[in-house]
Structure 1
């Protein structure tokens, strides 16, 4: 693989970030420094850490960044649940975001396992 942009997992996580930004635009304005900001930070962290780890010299370093990425994903999933519980979006909107995040989760876990096998 010549560039992190060629990784399907990076592409999918970028799509997730875009979707998260679009949906959080509808959140109440008084949440801009609270849940909205936190959800966006978590979402941004996912592809950012995939990209940063890609540039590292060792699989060990790459795994560290991928683990940060999946931790951010789990944090995002939790915050999506919170946003749903306080009715910031519909169940349908939640289901779409959550399922997209689960797809990225499965891909990340598989990718992490693949890199572990190379060690």
Structure 2
């Protein structure tokens, strides 16, 4: 995996971290009554994406690594649903939704590429 020495070197982690910051910004304007509901759920799910990438980075076996990436993928889809819900509740506008959803799709593709890279690396060992 080249010059990758830390999870912070992974583009997928970097993009995921940017996504977390964006979701925090977006959700900061949600209604107060959503603080312990949608806002909390959305933030918990989005933080799980880079957190699982980071945790999986140190795992030694392929199944262990892939398990953490799978959790990231699941959390990303959960975020996608919450974004749809926020849009449908008129908490975010269409442009905000589309921009966030595009970033999510980019991260999803990067996760797929990361999985292929991990599998290839472990096959060569």
Give me the whole-angstrom Cα distance separating, in 2, the residues matched to 1:67 and 1:6.
20
Which aligned runs of 4 or more in structure 1 are off by greater than 4 angstroms?
none
| Higher Rg | 2
- Residues 8-27 of structure 1: CA distance to partner in whole angstroms, max 9, x if unpaired? 10000000000000010000
Report whether the alignment pairs 1:109 with 2:112.
yes
> Residue 99 of structure 1: CA displacement?
0.4
Q: Does 1:96 align with 2:99?
A: yes
Offset at 1:113? 2.3
Aligned partners of 1:98, 1:13: CA distance in 2, in Å?
12
* 1:80 to partner: Cα distance: 0.4
Task: Name 1:6's counterpart in structure 2.
Answer: 9
Counterpart check, 1:82 vs 2:88: no
CA distance in 2, matches of 1:114, 1:3: 15
The runs of 5 or more residues in structure 2 that have no matched partner are none
Which structure 1 segments of 5+ residues have no match? Answer: none
SS in structure 2 of the partner of residue 45 of structure 1: helix
**CA distance in 1: counterparts of 2:48 and 2:29, whole angstroms:** 21
User: What is the aligned counterpart of 1:28 among 27, 31, 55?
Assistant: 31
CA distance in 1, matches of 2:62, 2:10: 16
- Normalised by the length of structure 2, the TM-score is 0.92
1:47 to 45, 50, 55: 50
* Alignment root-mean-square deviation, CA: 0.9
